[in-house]
Amino acid sequence: MSQSVHRTDVVIVGAGPVGLFAVFECGMLKMRCHVVDALDMVGGQCTALYPEKPIYDIPAHPAIEAAALIDRLAEQAAPFAPTYHLGQQVEKLTRSDEGRWLVETNKGVRIDAQAVIIAAGCGAFGPNRPPLDGLESFEGTSVFYMVRRRQDFAGKRVVIAGGGDSAVDWALSLAEVADKVSLVHRRAKFRAAPESVARLDALAREGKIEMVVPYQLAGLEGSDGQLTAVRVATLDGEEKAVPADAMLAFFGLSMNLGPIADWGLDLERSHIAVSLPGCATSAPGIFAIGDIATYPGKLKLILCGFSEAAQAAHAIHPMVHPGEALHFEYSTSKGVPGA
């Protein structure tokens, strides 16, 4: 356990796209940042859940894969040399008599900062796991809850379970590279975009996707972490085995605020209430941006989170540099310091 205390200007809780852009915005105002994230990589849900899915509403990018967006944001933040503390969770925030904040993680890292920006997305999240005997022995080797690289499933027999957008979208995508895709759902109706369902029906008629409906998961077959088949059953209990090398289960995410709920901040329906402009929370020196923040008229869009990052950085500047006038300049005029 670390006993030393890092000292910085701003601690950013969350290394997703909005947290990474907050590093840039703070850096442009000459404020140093430490970034803490529970995942062992930057990018948040963009990296963990849908790295190869295109995002269509990022300005100047008609389409950009989530992983590519994170790469560019990390590159944009790099000139300001942020310190990353990955694979750990902020557990405790303590305000000092001087008005600064001591941030402590579950791995013993302690950071003293003038301000804290919470950019933790939806808080702690994890997949809803199907209740199957022996599931743990297959997880991470042939049972997965996300797709990091589509090519990992090339030439394989893939069973996809679920009836929402993720299940349908990945069935459509993996049908292009997998040996066989079988889609398991308890009913024939899917909760996905109509155009995606239409494409799914077309590929099923062409024999490129096997529709295993109405069935639900009943068990797994295989050994040493490698699947050979997924057992499915009707509501009447009629079972059959679907040959499989890998299974993707898309039953949604369980999300909660985790330790954030205990930090004494004003909350509204599991979101942190903030005031505009600046995205300040009910605690002095703590700000919240991105999906975790809420205010009247809030839109949960990445581009809105980028704007909130800029607002928070400008609100923090007089706390870090008291008495220093901030003369607004466009980046085209002042460039990127240190780049």
**End position of a domain, from candidates 251, 269, 289:** 251
Answer yes or no: do 75 and 177 share one domain: no
- Cβ proximity of 222 and 229 under 8 Å: yes
Instruction: Identify whether 153 is part of a domain.
Output: yes
Give me the residues paired with residue 232 across strands. 217, 240
Longest dimension (CA), the chain: 74
pLDDT at residue 1, rounded to an integer: 44
Domains of the chain: total: 2
251, 267, 282 - which closes a domain = 251
pLDDT digits (tens, 9 = 90+) for 100-117: 999 999 999 999 999 999
Together in a domain, 160 and 206:
yes
Residue matched to tokens 């743990």: 136
pLDDT in tens, 186-238: 999 999 889 999 999 999 999 999 999 999 999 999 999 999 999 999 989 99
> Token pair for residue 76?
């944009």
Q: Does the residue 315 lie in any domain?
A: yes
User: Which segments of the chain have a pLDDT < 70?
Assistant: 1-3, 124-126, 255, 333-334, 337-339
144: domain CATH number?
A: 3.50.50.60
Q: Domain range holding 87?
A: 6-125+254-334
What is the end-to-end Cα distance of the chain in Å, rounded?
A: 35
Residue after which a domain boundary falls, among 251, 267, 284: 251
- The pair of three-digit structure tokens given for residue 33, joined into one six-digit string: 């940042």
pLDDT given at position 47: 82
Put the strands of the sheet holding 216-223 in their side by side order.
Answer: 216-223, 226-233, 239-243
Beta strands in 177-314 (DSSP E): 180-184, 210-212, 216-223, 226-233, 239-243, 246-249, 253-256, 267-268, 271-273, 286-288, 293-294
Whether 240 and 267 share a structural domain: no
Whether residue 12 lies inside any domain: the answer is: yes
List binding-site positions for FAD: 37, 45, 50, 90, 125, 291, 332
Q: Which parts are annotated binding residues?
A: 37, 45, 50, 90, 125, 291, 332
- Say if 138 falls within a structural domain: yes
Query: Is there a domain that residue 339 lies in?
Result: no
Q: How many angstroms separate the CA atoms of 116 and 293, rounded?
A: 14
Is the preceding omega at residue 214 within 30 degrees of 0, hence cis?
yes
Q: Answer yes or no: is 1 within a domain.
A: no
Q: Has this prediction a pTM greater than 0.75? A: no
Distance CA 103, CA 268 (A): 23
